[in-house]
Amino acid sequence: MTSLSERTMEIKIKGKNYVITETKLSDYEAFRDLIKGKRIKQIIDSTRSLSIGERTVFLNEAVKEVVTDNELQQELVTINGTLFMIYRALLHKQPNITFEDTQNMFTGLSDKEIEEITSLQSSLSEPNKEEQKNSEGVIVANL
């Protein structure tokens, strides 16, 4: 089996260095799970006045329902979707980071700065021959 090298990039956010990775299929699946979890929570919250049997019917339907690619794309362009995918890109090399940490890290940054970081992370899927790498072979970007 051939091993593909993982593309990573070092970025500096609010004076602290982080390593982000290219997006993996597991990141998209985690995002689908997040969307599905939100749906289920909404159903739980909105069906509190119903009987247990009625609530169970609604919850069973929600669990069976698939998050479509279109729904995924719609959610990806929201600020929470963007931050979640950046969180996932950080998580691979900073395993103790949380989504809340990522949200706090980006609080106070401009939309342009967030867009720049997102663009840099997305660029990891597109090899560039003129990349600047550090001694560990990690691509470096200073923001």
Q: Report the pLDDT value the prediction gives residue 132, as an integer from 0 to 100.
A: 61
pTM: 0.75
Residue 28 CB contacts under 8 Å (≥ 6 apart), including other chains: 72
Q: State yes or no: pLDDT of 143 exceeds 80.
A: no
Task: Give the pLDDT mean for 105-119.
Answer: 86
| Cα angle value 101/17/81 (rounded, 5°) | 40
Compute the distance between CA of residue 125 and CA of residue 93 in angstroms, rounded to an integer. 17
For the chain, which residues make up each domain, given as ranges?
8-142
- Each residue's pLDDT tens digit, 54-92: 999 999 998 899 999 999 999 998 989 999 999 999 999
